[in-house]
A = this chain, B = another copy of it.
Amino acid sequence: MKSAYITGANQVEIRHSEQPRPLAGELLVKIAYCGICTLEQRLYTGQRSIYLPIVAGHEASGTIVAIGSGVTSNHMVGDHVALDLANRCHICPECLSGNSNLCENRFNKGQQVLGALSEYMTVRAEQAHLLPKDLPLEHAALTEPLACSIRSLNKVGLKLGETLLICGSGTMGLLHMKAALAMGTRVIMCDIDKGRLLDAQRMGCTATLDASEIDVSIQQVKDLTRGRGVDCCIITSTAKDAARLAFQVRAPAGRINLFTSYDGRPEFPIDMNTVHRQEYQITGSEGRTEIDFNQAVRVLSNKTVGVADLISKIYPLDSIEKAMVAALEKTTYRVLVKVE
């Protein structure tokens, strides 16, 4: 079978290897589509390194082609699935607190969370979420990032009728936006890139803010919320101004979730006394649990959230290099690789 191997900085190539066989408890999945997320981009550019050569890819959909022994779940050959390529031991303190996304053993030796830029992949049965046949497999490749967005939105406890500010209008910001609109909230998008804000408008956001003009933005939020501020914020951008704005336009008891992963250890642009007096709630979210993943599957299956307009380009596996380059461009949202 063919796989895309990253072999060095800005080097990726197709190599052939033997098709794997499902061990006990495993399924063999023929990959259909795989997204190129920030992690894949960083592995490609060399900004991040795990080991070399490496087959990346963790946002994937596909079809079950073989079932190993001892699988007691409902999976059948031919089923369409979205892959939740995370390791969850189900018995560490984090898994047993309902936070399997923080599983202590998720990076233990011998486990993998990448590898979907390949024609076939073996996964544990619990990693393959069943999909209805009428959900296009290219849409299903966005299940994973949508699941992370849903976890993030659940952290702020978004309620029907509230107003949400999302800082950062990239793929992740827009996925948050689509899910939040589907939950019956008003969504204000904030970014420094006017093109992205126009896209956000086309996709239905309630209002947009230019992040480069903080004072104007603060006033706009006031106007939009009768002077009260937004009920909650999600930060999907690493820009320092994004966090600063978010902490300035919240209503009393406002909730903010830090979705983005920062380089280094940036300080909070707010003090402890204000958090105390205003009863703010600050949370972080990292990845997703299997329950978040399931919610994303349901939302996509029900057509409650549509992701077609977030798929900027689709390349065949053989054009993996072009796909990587396209994903790195500022004007693209998600770039998919069509593997099958």
Contact = CB atoms under 8 A, between A and B. Distances in A.
Contacts of A72: 87, 89, 105, 108-111
Given A72-B89, A252-B99, A299 B261 contact: no
Contacts of A206: 302
B261 A277 contact: yes
A241 interface: no
A275 B284 contact: yes
A276 interface: yes
Given A90-B88, A102-B252, A277 B284 contact: yes
A126 interface: yes
Contacts of A91: 73-75, 125-126, 128-130, 290
A286 to B, nearest CB: 5
8 contacts: A72-B108, A97-B253, A155-B279, A184-B299, A261-B277, A265-B274, A268-B270, A281-B282
Ordered nearest first, which 9 A-B pairs have the shortest CB separation? A161-B298, A265-B271, A96-B294, A276-B284, A182-B184, A90-B126, A262-B273, A258-B276, A275-B284
A248 interface: no
A125 B262 contact: no
Contacts of A271: 262, 264-268
Contacts of A45: none
Given A126-B89, A286-B279, A104 B74 contact: yes
A38 interface: no
A136 interface: no
Contacts of A110: 70, 72
A245 B228 CA distance: 34
A25 B69 CA distance: 14
Query: Is the contact region of chain A dominated by helix, strand, or loop, or is it mixed?
Result: loop
Contacts of A111: 72
A298 B162 contact: yes
Given A161-B304, A186-B304, 13 more contacts: A90-B290, A97-B253, A102-B252, A160-B295, A160-B299, A162-B298, A184-B299, A262-B276, A266-B273, A267-B271, A275-B282, A281-B282, A282-B283
A302 to B, nearest CB: 5
A262 B150 CA distance: 35
A105 B276 contact: no
A267 B264 contact: no
